[in-house]
Structure 1
Amino acid sequence: MIGNILNISIFTSLKIFRQTSAAFYMTVTSSVNIFQLVVGLLSRIMITGYNIDPTKTSSFICKARQFTLITTMLIAFTCMCFAVIDQYLSLTNSWRHFCTVKIASRLVIIAFVVWFLHGITIFLYVDLDLSLGNNQTSCSVINAGYSIYYSRFLFPILLGFLPLIIRIIFGLLAFVNVRRLKKHQTPIVRLEHDKQLTTMVLVEVTVDVLITLPYIIYNHIYSNSVTFYDPISNAQDQLIIAVTRIIFYGNFAIAFYIYFCVSSRFRKQLVYVFVEIHLKRWRERTHRNGTNQIVPQTSDIVQKTDDVN
């Protein structure tokens, strides 16, 4: 969560990022990731670690949690795809005019509307399941048709392979275009900026592949096709599911640390933002407040002196 806040601070503080559509997508992604971690990861820790699960007792919490989790995931992955596609287009002369913050903001609004409308189905088909017996309930899909869509398309495709494939393809294309720019007389500032963003998104894609595939393959392909009758095997299965699920949340938490590790330019920008911008503003504000406090005290002293005279 701290990493996402730092990303937002850097991308909104520097003019070079504020004017870059790819950075705009990355800013939106970081903002959405905060909601994902607050609602998703923290509630998962409470459920798995402390056996506190309000989704089993409240229909509204059950629906709201699933809606927030899935909708924010879809928006985040969509913006990640937009960012890497935008970076490729910005390096192509014939398509560069599409890479503006104005167009990016419109696409983000469309993504929000589409996935919020998609989330209505969650409120319709996800609810408390009372079929377990022994007064036990679970928050799950209660419609057979939607269950097929949920387990065979939503998670493995929309939240799994599709965004990864899109990001890998356009990330590699962007990398090729950056190498071509070196052979042309491209302004140094622009070349360094393009290299920075391309490296950041490409390494992020690589890491996301490594932390997403285990979750998708085991939880939504293997585990759903195998029935465990042995209690020990079932316990091992639940442990693997829990571990891969926690690792999967890295998609929404580690972007800043990837950028920090792979880009020396990003590290310098981080220092500049917090030392030259935020720290300087804080010092100016503190100095201004201190000056405002001293002036009345001086006036009081002058007034008292006049009274004595």
Structure 2
Amino acid sequence: MGVFGNGMNIFVFSSTRTYRTTPTAFYFTVESIFNTISITVNLIPRIVSFAYGVDLTLISVIWCKLRQAILSISVAIPISCACLTTIDQFFVTSPNASLRRLSKKQLAHRIVFIITVVFILHSIPIYYFFHIAPTVNLCYSNNWVFAVYYTLFIIVIDSAIPILTMATFGYLAYRNIRRTVALAEQHADRQLVKMVLIQVALVVICIAPVGIYNAYSLITYGVVKSLNQQAIEYSTSLLVT
């Protein structure tokens, strides 16, 4: 259902003329593409596990590293795009003409290109540090410094900052709408505003558990845990990622 929904988003936002010209629609399209990648990468080991009773993440070092790197990219970019859609709608609904002029598709292209390159480069250390630990049979970083850094990255970059950004600019966009008697944009643009505001609520609900889980992991890092507790935490990580 997630793949189908994201596929429909890609089709609608890339084929409808009204949407093709707006930065928000472009952000939605990029977000849907990387969401589809993230869902697919998460589904592959689950399908193999269900069909053959094996977890690729725990038997293939290559897949352990590759999956984590792909997920790192395909989670960070959609979250960034979600933030950018909220910021763009703040610009679009602003009564200030200078702010409205910041909503440009060319600028959106440059920003997405930059964040894509940054997050791809950021994922490179994963190929070096992640491995399968034979004693606990888990795929994780074998370097505690990188493990702590990576956990902090997820808490701050993938959770705290996006929630704060979307909540702030979502509220500002909503306030702009309330202050405006009628938007000077087309009806489709008003629909985009509504979609962005709904997305803010959904994304916050979805990424908050990720931040909470990783905060727990960071706090309990170095604590001796039983095999049963490790299994529970691993299952929880699969649910929230």
TM-score bucket of the superposed structures, by smaller chain: 0.7 to 0.9
Which residue type is aligned with residue 170 of structure 2?
Answer: G
Asked if 1 retains the 8 angstrom alpha-carbon contact of 2:58 and 2:139, the reply is: yes
When normalised by structure 1's length, the TM-score is: 0.68
CA deviations 1:43-98 (Å, max 9, x no partner) are 25655897522222322211111100111111111111111111111222212222
* Deviation, structure 1 residue 118: 0.4
Who is 1:28 aligned against? 30
* Deviation, structure 1 residue 241: 1.4
Which residue type is aligned with residue 148 of structure 2?
Answer: I
Task: For 1:119 and 1:11, locate their aligned partners in 2 and report how far apart those are by CA, in whole Å.
Answer: 29
Task: For 1:96 and 1:127, locate their aligned partners in 2 and report how far apart those are by CA, in whole Å.
Answer: 47
Asked if 1 retains the 8 angstrom alpha-carbon contact of 2:23 and 2:104, the reply is: yes
Who is 1:164 aligned against? 163
Which residue type is aligned with residue 109 of structure 2?
Answer: S
Aligned residues with identical type, % of pairs: 30
Who is 2:101 aligned against? 97
CA deviations 1:113-160 (Å, max 9, x no partner) are 111110111112112334x1xxx6432101121011122x12211111
Asked if 2 retains the 8 angstrom alpha-carbon contact of 1:54 and 1:61, the reply is: yes
Who is 2:148 aligned against? 148
- Quick one: structure 1 residues 137 and 158, their matched pair in 2 at CA, closer, same or farther if it must change by over 3 Å? same
Q: Aligned runs of 1:58-69 on 2, under 5 Å?
A: 58-69=60-71
Q: Aligned runs of 1:240-255 on 2, under 5 Å?
A: 241=236, 245-246=238-239, 248=240
Asked if 1 retains the 8 angstrom alpha-carbon contact of 2:26 and 2:105, the reply is: yes
- Quick one: structure 1 residues 181 and 30, their matched pair in 2 at CA, closer, same or farther if it must change by over 3 Å? same
Who is 1:81 aligned against? 83
* Deviation, structure 1 residue 100: 1.6
User: Quick check: which has more Rg, 1 or 2?
Assistant: 1
Asked if 1 retains the 8 angstrom alpha-carbon contact of 2:91 and 2:103, the reply is: yes
List runs of 5+ in structure 2 lacking aligned partners: none
Task: For 2:30 and 2:208, locate their aligned partners in 1 and report how far apart those are by CA, in whole Å.
Answer: 24
Residue 104 of structure 1: SS of its match in structure 2? helix
Residue 52 of structure 1: SS of its match in structure 2? coil
Asked if 1 retains the 8 angstrom alpha-carbon contact of 2:48 and 2:56, the reply is: no
Task: For 1:77 and 1:49, locate their aligned partners in 2 and report how far apart those are by CA, in whole Å.
Answer: 32
Who is 1:220 aligned against? 214
Query: Which of residues 104, 116, 121 is equivalent to 1:112?
Result: 116
Asked if 1 retains the 8 angstrom alpha-carbon contact of 2:92 and 2:103, the reply is: yes
When normalised by structure 2's length, the TM-score is: 0.86
Task: For 2:207 and 2:46, locate their aligned partners in 1 and report how far apart those are by CA, in whole Å.
Answer: 17
Q: Aligned runs of 1:202-281 on 2, under 5 Å?
A: 202-217=197-212, 219-222=213-216, 224-225=218-219, 234=229, 237-238=232-233, 241=236, 245-246=238-239, 248=240
Q: Aligned runs of 1:179-198 on 2, under 5 Å?
A: 179-182=178-181, 186-187=183-184, 190=185, 192-198=187-193
Task: For 1:173 and 1:193, locate their aligned partners in 2 and report how far apart those are by CA, in whole Å.
Answer: 20
Which residue type is aligned with residue 113 of structure 1?
Answer: V
